[in-house]
Amino acid sequence: MSRKQGQPPCQHTVESGDTFSNLALAYYGDGSDVNSQRIANANPGVSATGLQIGQQLQIP
């Protein structure tokens, strides 16, 4: 799982194994679908199944 890099709102650089769910857990303390969707909504055009290492994501 990724280490938390800051407090939301912030940017996150995708690392190997990152998913919206584990990012939600790391940043919000809750990996629920609601929090995963918050991250997805903040990153239009980014596929949850196609995260690329080094990609920048917005964490709202």
Q: pTM of the predicted model, to two decimals?
A: 0.84
Count Cα neighbours of 4 within 13 Å in the Cβ-side half-sphere. 11
> What three-state secondary structure class fits 42?
helix
Instruction: Kindly report, residue by residue over 19-43, the tens digit of the pLDDT.
Output: 999 999 999 999 999 999 999 999 9
The CB-side HSE value for 46 (13 A sphere, CA atoms) comes to 21
According to the model, what pLDDT value does residue 1 have? Answer: 46
CATH architecture of 10-59: Roll (3.10)
CA distance linking residue 11 with residue 56, whole number of Å: 6
- The dihedral built from the CA positions of residue 21, 18, 6 and 13, taken in this order, carries a sign that is negative
